[in-house]
Amino acid sequence: MSFATRVAITVVLLIPGVFAQDRSHARSMVVTRYGVVATSHVQASQAGAQILARGGSAADAAIAANAVLGVTEPMMNGMGGDLFALYWEAKTGKLYGLNASGWAPQGLTIDHLKAKTATSMPQSGIDSVTVPGAVAGWSALHERFGRLPWKDIFQAAIFYADEGYPVPELIHGFWEDSAEDLLRDSESRRVFLHNDKPPAVGEIFQNHDLAKALRLIAQQGTNSFYRGEIAQAILRTSQSLGGTISAADLAEFAPEWVEPISVTYRDWTIYELPPNGQGMAALEMLNIMQMSPASSEGPLSTTELHKKIEAMKLAYADLYRYNADPRFAKIPVKGLLSQDYAKERAKLINPHKAACDVAAGEPPASDTTYLSVVDRDGNIASLIQSNYAAFGSGITVRGMGFALQNRGALFSLDPSHPNALAPRKRPFHTIIPAFMEHGNQHIGFGIMGGPNQPLAHAQFVSNVVDYGMNIQAALEAARFTVSSRRGCNILIESRVKSETLQQLSRMGHQLEVRKEYSPAMGRGQAVLHDSQSQVNYGASDARADGSAEPEPPPLKQ
């Protein structure tokens, strides 16, 4: 046998072994018998993992990580924003839902805005601000599921606010994009800019005012935020800008425990929160998708992408027609999520052509951060928190170092619309945590990014259920998302094959191709608990600066 032949045989024999290590995703899952915290910022993940190591629950770790994210990602979230959560209790197998979204001030009415010559809801400024619900949400989670003392949970956040942290890459980019808006508010300019510029990558950013506010929360609880010193600072800020927030608006607010809604997709059960969030759109999209089998050509094939894009349009048309605060409007959730309705909507999909003008159906009556935590007992916290736009309303509470959200921007000024602005009403909300389970597998997941979220959830679920991906691969897989121009306009990542992009374009999809890992597709996290093996898994999206961090083991001294 010649030398060349022997080399060729050796190469052929080696190829299967080499290919067995090939994969389509960049990162491995974190796999551990202990807890896992997955967030979009490494220090926040570490802070949560440290809480787990001290015996904290998934709720404790989620609050600690979220508080750190309010320091390290101030444009995305913070105590001036809202919060939603799903919490799976391993011992009972029960899933709990928490809606900690704030309401409109009593004085913020359609007539009030029209008197200011507004023709649509302000997208920034004091009249876009609703009562922040995040701190009350933390308290509700801790009261029901917490193990550690309340004051201990905020120590890492206080440390990073006081001592500072080096700004990572993507957060620097988001900060830079917001610099011009921050100049419009003197307090935002003082707190978040240095010489009118955002901090550079690696620059140490400190926020002593926020450290003060966090200490008040740690020492005095929610009372400091809704009735005490922080409340007074919010009221002074609002009054100085002609806002309508009153002491009663803050003091009388309370979060609400709600029953999650669900559908069965193939043989998995997928859970979301009910309105005023947009979770029902993810579930309706999945219902429409399962009216036909998953494409054997893969998740990024022309057939599969076209089906998902068209299903998304149908679900979103219904979402924007019907979603609102259920305390004020009758929302046909049961009808929207029925199989018969999904069949009718699925019939509208032309397998060969994109629909650019999709109307809502008639169902039968009936800027954000996400984190997920699983503790060593298998309890799962799926939590999302947001200011809405970057730095929310653009207004920073005087002397407290955090921005107020602009969630009121999503109200309608049309009195006949279910989502019409009204006192003490909660607006349409984009932020949605999610949970899915099948047998022994329980997954807490979420993918942030405004209107991107329902369709990103549906793509993640399909990746896991239809194509057998693990949670890290399912997060990293190339995605598409909706464009602000709507219609047939779609954003899609360049990792989709060029021939597939060309075929979609010929079908009428108007594609804007983004880079390989675009934050426009949302930044996701996921954890999985296997209740048979008692092993936990964590995954963190490569589109963010974060990580999935395992709980350190209990080492003997």
Residue 550 is classified by DSSP as E
Instruction: Establish if 496 belongs to a structural domain.
Output: yes
Which of 471, 514, 460, 518 lies closest to 308 in space, CA to CA?
A: 460
pLDDT tens-digit series, residues 307-365: 999 999 999 999 999 999 999 998 999 999 999 999 999 999 999 999 999 999 888 65
pLDDT tens-digit series, residues 89-138: 999 999 999 999 999 999 999 999 999 999 999 999 999 999 999 999 99
Angle between helices 339-346 and 279-289 (to 10 degrees): 70
Structural domain range at position 51: 44-90+122-256+394-410
pLDDT tens-digit series, residues 407-453: 999 999 999 999 999 999 999 999 999 999 999 999 999 999 888 99
Is the pLDDT at 373 greater than 80? The verdict is: yes
362/511 same-domain check? yes
Query: What contacts 97, CB < 8 A, 6 or more positions away?
Result: 84, 85, 86, 257, 258, 259, 260, 273, 274
Instruction: Establish if 117 belongs to a structural domain.
Output: no
- Domain end marker among 410, 439, 468: 410
177/51 same-domain check? yes
243/285 same-domain check? no
Is the pLDDT at 4 greater than 60? The verdict is: no
Query: Tokens 């047939």 appear where?
Result: 488
Number of domains in the chain: 2
Q: Mean pLDDT over residues 134-160, rounded?
A: 98
- Domain end marker among 356, 377, 410: 410
Instruction: Establish if 235 belongs to a structural domain.
Output: yes
Query: Of 130, 237, 244, 368, which is the active-site residue?
Result: 368
Is the separation of the CB atoms in 287 and 339 below 8 Å?
yes
Can you tell me the distance from the alpha carbon of 539 to that of 357, in angstroms, rounded to the nearest whole number? 37
Can you tell me the distance from the alpha carbon of 294 to that of 429, in angstroms, rounded to the nearest whole number? 30
Query: Tokens 């002609």 appear where?
Result: 242
Mean pLDDT (the chain) is: 93
For the chain, the first-to-last Cα distance in angstroms comes to 61
Long-range own/partner contacts, residues 418-422 (CB < 8 A, 24 or more apart): 418/322, 418/323, 418/324, 418/328, 418/329, 418/331, 419/323, 419/324, 419/325, 419/329, 420/110, 421/104, 421/108, 421/109, 421/110, 421/113, 421/121, 422/104, 422/109, 422/110, 422/328
What are the backbone angles phi and psi of residue 499, rounded to the nearest 5°? Answer: -70, -35
pLDDT bin (cut points 50, 70, 90) of residue 16 is very low
Residue 368 is classified by DSSP as E
Instruction: Establish if 315 belongs to a structural domain.
Output: yes
262/203 same-domain check? no
Can you tell me the distance from the alpha carbon of 511 to that of 496, in angstroms, rounded to the nearest whole number? 12
- Pair type for strands 489-493 and 510-514: parallel
Is the separation of the CB atoms in 465 and 266 below 8 Å?
yes
Q: What pLDDT shows up at residue 557? A: 61
What are the backbone angles phi and psi of residue 524, rounded to the nearest 5°? Answer: -110, 165
Q: Mean pLDDT over residues 387-407, rounded?
A: 95
472/542 same-domain check? yes
Instruction: Establish if 334 belongs to a structural domain.
Output: yes
272/329 same-domain check? yes
pLDDT bin (cut points 50, 70, 90) of residue 366 is very low
Q: What pLDDT shows up at residue 14? A: 44
Is the separation of the CB atoms in 111 and 411 below 8 Å?
no
Can you tell me the distance from the alpha carbon of 430 to that of 410, in angstroms, rounded to the nearest whole number? 9
342/487 same-domain check? yes
Instruction: Report the amino acid identity of residue 539.
Output: A
Provide the 3-class DSSP secondary structure of residue 61: helix
- pTM here is 0.93
Can you tell me the distance from the alpha carbon of 503 to that of 519, in angstroms, rounded to the nearest whole number? 25
Provide the 3-class DSSP secondary structure of residue 521: helix
Is the separation of the CB atoms in 508 and 487 below 8 Å?
no
410 to each of 6, 122, 302, how far by Cα in Å? Answer: 69, 9, 34
pLDDT tens-digit series, residues 531-552: 999 999 999 999 999 999 999 9
Rounded (5°) CA angle 75-77-80: 105
233/311 same-domain check? no
Q: What share of the chain is helix, strand, coil (3-state, %, to 5)?
A: 40, 20, 45
472/333 same-domain check? yes
CATH number of the domain within which 469 lies: 3.60.20.40
In the numeric block, which tokens belong to residue 222? 């929610």
Instruction: Establish if 8 belongs to a structural domain.
Output: no
Q: Is 368 a catalytic residue?
A: yes
Is the separation of the CB atoms in 374 and 58 below 8 Å?
yes
Instruction: Establish if 218 belongs to a structural domain.
Output: yes
246/269 same-domain check? no
pLDDT bin (cut points 50, 70, 90) of residue 12 is very low
Instruction: Establish if 161 belongs to a structural domain.
Output: yes
DSSP 156-202: HHHHHHHH-EE--HHHHHHHHHHHHHHTTSHHHHHHH-BTTBPPPTT
67/205 same-domain check? yes
- Domain end marker among 410, 441, 462: 410
Is the separation of the CB atoms in 338 and 300 below 8 Å?
no
- Pair type for strands 489-493 and 380-386: unpaired
471/364 same-domain check? yes
